Amino acid sequence: MSDPPPPMSPRGKFQWDPDRYDQKTETGWRWTPIHPASTRAAVGMRKGRGLRYGCIGALVLLASLLVIGFIAGGRSNGQPALRWTVDGQSTTSSTVGGTATVHVTVTSEGTVWSALAAAHNLVIYMNARDDWFKHHVITDPGGCTINMSLERLDCGQLAAGATKTVNVEASPKDAGNFAFELDVADEEGSHLLYPARGSLTWKETVTP
């Protein structure tokens, strides 16, 4: 005949320890905690789930840091970040006091990170090479704002998928044979983002 099962406490949380059944009589000595298998399994499951979530969170954080590093690297190193097409034409022969024009058309397809990214501020520089700004007086900025201190035009936002044409009119100040260059960029805060092919070059002969 088998021994009866050990008695259990009223709330079912402790059982009578048979190994200590006749050793001592102090209250609480022979009651030992019960740990059901289901409880232990649940605890293990919670620990496993927490570890899995922790790994996923770490991977997401790492991916975010890599993306931020890629963006920051592209900005700081001057790497092409804009998916723009740039086209234009300009006056190649003029006279001092006459009229010279520069036409620029920019179409935005967003950035290398997002096709839906809009340009915060389309800027047009014309101070490279022989410095077009230095040798002309702008009479019509074509809807842009003249920034004389930076020798550029600030032309505002450009939505993704949109096209903007800027027609600049100016009067040549100096006679000579010049080589000019125009560059477009997007000013985002303190950063300038450039397209891969955002420069236009031309020669202009100005007679007295």
Please tell me the predicted confidence (pLDDT) of residue 190. Answer: 82
With a cut of 60, say whether residue 53 has pLDDT above it.
no
Inter-residue contact 124 to 152 (CB < 8 Å): yes
Mean of the per-residue pLDDT values of the chain: 77
Q: Which among 148, 127, 140 has a CA at the least distance from the CA of 101?
A: 140
Please tell me the predicted confidence (pLDDT) of residue 37. Answer: 40
β partners of residue 35: none
Instruction: Name every residue whose Cβ is closer than 8 Å to that of residue 200 and which is 6 or more positions away in sequence.
Output: 86, 87, 88, 90, 104, 181, 182
CATH architecture of 82-207: Sandwich (2.60)
With a cut of 80, say whether residue 10 has pLDDT above it.
no
Q: Which residue has the tokens 């001092």?
A: 96
With a cut of 70, say whether residue 133 has pLDDT above it.
yes
Please tell me the predicted confidence (pLDDT) of residue 206. Answer: 98
Burial (Cβ within 10 Å: 0-12, 13-18, ≥19) of residue 144: buried
DSSP run (H or E) holding 90: strand 82-90
Domain residue ranges of the chain, discontinuous segments joined by +: 14-75, 82-207
Per-residue pLDDT tens over the stretch 84-103: 999 999 999 999 999 999 99
List the structure tokens of 44.
């293990």
Please tell me the predicted confidence (pLDDT) of residue 100. Answer: 98
Please tell me the predicted confidence (pLDDT) of residue 184. Answer: 97
With a cut of 90, say whether residue 166 has pLDDT above it.
yes
